[in-house]
Amino acid sequence: MGVFWVKQDLLQELGATKEKLQATETRLKALETSQQELMSKHANSEAQIDKIKMEKQGIFTAPVRGLYYFSFFYHCATTCDTWLHLCRNGMKEGIAGQHKTEHGTQANGQNGITLLLEKGDQVYIVLLKNSWIWDGQMDTLFSGFLIDAM
């Protein structure tokens, strides 16, 4: 009779352990789902922040119709490609850049352009994908001014 009770006790313990394991697995799945949701929200938040930064930095909007002069300068290492486009309303108007070299030296580049802009036109610089510039201590500059309002 004593062996029967021991077996029954072991079976009850095994059943309780199985229930605890299932509950733990359920909680783990819920935590994994929550983690994935948080990571997705974080990625979306970073994308929104990047979009806001892009919208807020480096875009000139013409306050009046007129003739404007723009220039841009960069400093880079020649171990990577460097290509900058000056764009007006999404269309390329000017370019400056160079192909990478094996010398590993430093380089500078620049370009300037005169544009007739309508009020509200936007002008900005785009660093092309897989291109590199140094971005510190005013190494890269974008500037412009109104020559004549029309």
Tell me the pLDDT tens digit for each residue of 56-102: 568 999 999 999 999 998 888 777 788 889 999 999 999 988 887 87
For the segment 37-55, the average pLDDT, to the nearest whole number, is: 67
Long-range contacts of 82-86, Cβ-Cβ distance < 8 Å, separation of 24 or more:
82/107, 82/109, 82/131, 82/132, 82/133, 83/127, 83/128, 83/131, 84/109, 84/111, 84/125, 84/126, 84/127, 84/128, 84/131, 84/133, 85/125, 85/126, 85/128, 86/111, 86/113, 86/123, 86/124, 86/125
Tokens 């006790």 locate to 9
Would you say the pTM of this structure is higher than 0.75?
Answer: no
Nearest to 59 by CA among 126, 12, 135: 126
Question: Alpha-carbon distance 5 to 3, whole Å?
Answer: 5
Question: Alpha-carbon distance 127 to 140, whole Å?
Answer: 11
For the segment 96-111, the average pLDDT, to the nearest whole number, is: 81
**Six-digit token string for 64:** 């009046």
Is 87:93 a contact under the CB 8 Å cutoff? yes
| Predicted confidence (pLDDT) per residue in 122-145, tens digit | 999 988 888 777 766 667 888 999
